[in-house]
Structure 1
């Protein structure tokens, strides 16, 4: 196909740009590395050498190259199968590879197998693609090499590329602060949505596919593989899970007792340096401590936590070479299989305990502890500050020299807002889009087949402030004052009753209660209730108010009290009219009433 002139000119500009290799050339110095895990690489003459290995660990294949290689591998193994989960916004299939020595490939077989089922995904942020190449190598060694015994321990689910459209928006300029691969994909999807902010609202094809896997296959471990942004340090493979401030305490205990020690040791044995998730408290270096955030369930590992699935977020260090990161990911995944199998009975007991919680109240908002929890030995990289000749401000320069620091651990796990758990929630039929999203989360519900009259509790909106700009394509509620009212309503067929007597009660509450930052209300799905659509003319209001005051002594008393307590009240005729309008039966009784009913 003949290329458009604009495409040709833009390509020439990129190739001749003086910035073509700047980012890689001016990165902080890297530490020398030659870990034992290099032995995992096969020779270039190997029949099943991956494109990553052919490139000396410098490149990652395109979508079509990846899928072609995987399909060929699957066609040559009775233990592998590839299935399509869905189609991306640009029309690309989102593929899932299943590995089972028993050749159990159906949802029913895998979800009921006595073996653990491990689900790992790559490329949710498509430039952060280490997991794809590590997974390809691991599947190769399982199906064509000497590691078939891993399938005695577990069945596997693997999405090589989740954000398939972002993956194909690839170039040498994908991630300015990441050391390889040579070409990288883009963080967001084709609609500029971040898939790892989509787990509660389920707007993207990618996360809808993940939800389908979780609901249908019921995995026993969920691993989401990323590459970091940010500061320099010695660790190459950092990862985390919800240790405190979450909704699955027994799973968290299992991860800290069994999983983390064994995975850390395996990584160390292979020449890697594992560490926790790292976020500099001051945004630059770790002199003021490391922050452990309480992420909301819009993120992968915290969504897994609220669904009572052991879930891991891997963040390989962006400043480490691509080959080192991929090999570390391989070691992590291999050991994860072994550890889950070795301690599966304990894991099952932990999951069962967390699923059977019957909380009377649930925390919907966490804050930082008032003092650091403790301190940690931090394997850092020396840095200095320099004053910019451009901005006049100080900035950090990393020097590539190992240092050890003791830094505070700052935890965001202090509950600051709880809500009481009702017996059930009711969603009216007219809010069917929200009902469908609840179904997509795997939440159990009953659907009305005929009209039903109910006395329910609702939240009402007082003063509120909208976000000044869209976030993930939606206008969110930035702040809000809430109150409650009880009323009798008649719900139509198609309305949904969602009991909280189910294993996903915590997720139900987080999505339904407006105080929760990941509620459908705060995401903006009920913004239309904030619009007032009926009004009363002044030529009606004036005689009506006079009549009301003459006939209702209590109303007259309340009017006088309002004037006395609020000097600004009578300065605005509109405010006075509005006050009286709200006292009439003509006023819209549904205005600013969030249409989620609570059954107490």
Structure 2
């Protein structure tokens, strides 16, 4: 070999080595227990964008912090138009920093994208990877070393609440934050086939560094749910095992020993993977264990993303096909489960790598306190409760009608990709309507709301007049699950649950008893059926019989004077 060629090879190798060194992440340049700041994270992805044509960094929408959300996309085809990308390739969306005190995914994804761009990870031909580098920017800017009191590193980190102190992993459907609304815009634009939201766990102690929440297969439903549960998730965990990474489903236990078993987490729509499932996107939350060292946690997060890419690459066509076909399970006239209850009569067992737990006197109260002895590891089979049963189901209607006056709800429907058709003329329609009966309301604030639960409703079929501009929402569209979960008031995370319709719960017009007394006598005299029902109620209800005010109010509510909008749920179901 000529000297000139040898020199050229040496120079080229040195330049490549120098370039790789220049692309070391803040995590890699630290001591293994440090995480990048927000500014360092965005600067790093800007550097990747500048150096590699396969990577694009884009600003996407506002957050409560005042800083914009970004997406970073890796596509070996150098195509970054999402309308084109999703036609031929599967899309993986990765979300990081939803809880910035859990920054494992932030550091792991910086290395992951670099390794994709440099070829250290085999370049996928069938997958495009999209990353939100930091979702909770306000929380990441609120950097401290104390708020994650139970966590083993890193040295400093962000805060769980966002700039307005919202937990963003409870905001995916109520969307009180600009973060959540921008996320919805990104999600609908990207239309991911697979979703990963990187986290760190709280709770019990055990041997695993890596645990995970996977979208509940019953919530996903159909062949897609079965594929996710029996094929994809087991394959991902088997691949991690080949890398000597043990895994277990998220240990849904707090302040108790897991020896007695635990249930699979039901990810309702308020959570990121629950939101993704509304659009038939399979999703997971890696939950690295809080007590394991930071370097190890970042490492297993990286490896899970690498295993996911490898699996999606081989199964991209199948995943996209199953997503499309899952819509066939959501036709008008079919049943749709809204609320679920754990079925404790059905159990399985899983192998579990734990530490022996016991109780000893508390140094504070003297009362028994839980502790784990890490010098006593064990492996044994423990119960695992995975099966749920639906406790509230609805029949899917052909469409819903939402009056235009409910613009806050209409805005969210639009943000989330739902197609709404305004009525072109004043129109009379035969609809099914709901009247709200009993319900419970939280006594404590929860994420800026006092949510409702245990709702009881009455239904009736009636003809109603709707105005030009009111909205007709056909259920036969890709967002049908979102439509059902949000517009059916009994849904766990419906708009009703989150207080969007509370104004109908308050009566606006009343009566003065001394005036209404004489009119009430006339109402009973002129309406024999009302009179008969009134006497029956007095005979069977002692408290009612002894309360003149309750009797007047009852008569008022049976009369034409009582406002029909009170307790009338202002969303209507169209069956034909």
Do the two structures share a fold, i.e. TM-score over 0.5? yes
Is the CA contact (8 Å cut-off) linking 1:150 and 1:338 kept in structure 2?
no
Q: Say if 2:284 is the partner of 1:312.
A: yes
Between Structure 1 and Structure 2, how many residues are aligned?
556
The answer to whether residue 347 in structure 2 is matched with residue 373 in structure 1 is: yes
Query: Does 1:528 find its partner at 2:503?
Result: yes
Q: Determine the structure 2 residue equivalent to 1:335.
A: 307
Q: How many Å separate the matches in 1 of 2:161 and 2:125? A: 37
Instruction: Tell me how far 1:502 sits from its aligned partner.
Output: 2.4
Distance 1:220 1:517 in 2: 24
Residue in 2 aligned with 1:18?
none
Tell me which residue corresponds to 1:406.
Answer: 381
Is 2:247 the partner of 1:263?
Answer: no
Q: 1:383 matched to which residue of 2?
A: 357
Task: Give 1:450 deviation, angstroms.
Answer: 3.0
Structure 2 vs 1, CA of residues 412 and 74 (structure 1 numbering), >3 Å: closer, same or farther? same
Does the CA contact (< 8 Å) of 1:266 and 1:331 recur in 2?
no
Question: 1:115·1:341 contact (CA, 8 Å) conserved in 2?
Answer: no
**Residue number among 269, 272, 275 corresponding to 1:297 in the alignment:** 269
- Contact map agreement 1:372 1:408 (CA 8 A) in 2: no
CA deviations on 1:316-358 (whole Å, 9 max, x unpaired) are 1111111101111111111211110111222223212212223
SS at match of 1:245: helix
Q: Which sits farther off after the overlay, 43-52 or 288-297?
A: 43-52
How much does 1:581 deviate? 0.9
1:122 maps onto 2:103 in alignment: no
Task: Give the TM-score normalised by structure 2.
Answer: 0.92
Q: Which moved more, 1:587-596 or 1:294-303?
A: 294-303
Matched, 1:499 2:471: no
The question of whether the paired residues in 2 share the 8 Å contact of 1:247 and 1:506 is answered with no
Match of 2:154 in 1: 181
Name the structure 2 match of 1:564. Answer: 539
Counterpart in the other structure of 2:118:
144
SS of alignment partner, residue 297 of structure 1: coil
SS for the counterpart of 2:351 is strand
Tell me the CA shift for residue 139 of structure 1.
1.1
The residue correspondences of 1:33-182 to structure 2 (distance < 5 A) are 46-112=21-87, 114-147=88-121, 149-182=122-155
Equivalent position to 1:287, from 259, 263, 285: 259
Deviation for aligned residue 1:503? 3.1
Rounded to whole Å, the distance in 1 between the matches of 2:27 and 2:352 is 32
**Number of the residue aligned with 1:454:** 429
- Does residue 350 of structure 1 match 2:325? no
1-structure distance, mates of 2:478, 2:19: 49
- Give the conservation status (yes or no) of the 8 Å contact 2:34–2:154: yes
Q: What is the rounded CA distance, in whole Å, between the counterparts of 2:274 and 2:359 in structure 1?
A: 35
- Name the CA shift for 1:162/1:411 in 2 (closer, same or farther; >3 Å): same
Aligned positions of 1:388-399 closer than 5 A: 388-399=362-373
Structure 2 residue matching 1:246: 3-state secondary structure: helix
Alpha-carbon distance in structure 2 between the residues aligned to 1:341 and 1:254: 16
1:240-298 deviations in Å (ceiling 9; x for gaps): 32343213332233233443343223323333222222112x74211210211322111
Unaligned runs of 5+ in 2: 1-16
Secondary structure at 2:223 match in 1: helix
Whether the 8 Å contact between 2:216 and 2:267 is mirrored in structure 1 is no
Aligned with 1:278 (options 251, 263, 280): 251
**Offset, 1:546:** 2.3
**CA drift at 1:596:** 0.6
Query: Residue 485 of structure 1 aligns to a residue in which SS?
Result: strand
1:324 to 278, 281, 296: 296
Contact 2:330/2:336 (8 A) holds in 1: no
Give deviations 1:206-254, integer Å, cap 9, x for gaps: 2222222221121121111100001111111111323432133322332
CA contact (8 A) 1:111 1:216 kept: no
* Root-mean-square deviation (Å): 2.0
Deviations 1:190-218 (A, max 9, x none): 11111111122122222222222221121
Q: Deviations over 1:549-571 (max 9, x none)?
A: 33333333222212111121132
Partner residue of 1:419?
394
Structure 1 residues 549 and 416: CA distance shift in structure 2, 3 A: closer
Q: Evaluate the alpha carbon distance shift between residue 78 and residue 550 of structure 1 in structure 2; reply closer, same or farther with a 3 A threshold.
A: closer
Contact preservation (8 Å) 2:539, 2:545: no
In structure 1, distance between residues paired with 2:525 and 2:371: 76
C-alpha displacement of 1:480: 3.0
Normalising by the residue count of structure 1, what TM-score does the alignment of the two structures yield?
0.89
CA contact (8 A) 1:372 1:409 kept: no
Report the equivalent of 2:14.
none
Q: Hey, what's the Cα distance between the residues in 1 that align with 2:222 and 2:290?
A: 31
Q: In the alignment, which of 589, 592, 596 is matched to residue 564 of structure 2?
A: 589
Secondary structure of 1:152's aligned partner = coil
**Residues 71-130 of structure 1, C-alpha deviation per residue, up to 9 Å, x if partnerless?**
112111111111112121120121110111111101212122x22211111111111111
Secondary structure at 1:594 match in 2: strand
Partner of 2:215: 242
Distance 2:77 2:20 in 1: 31
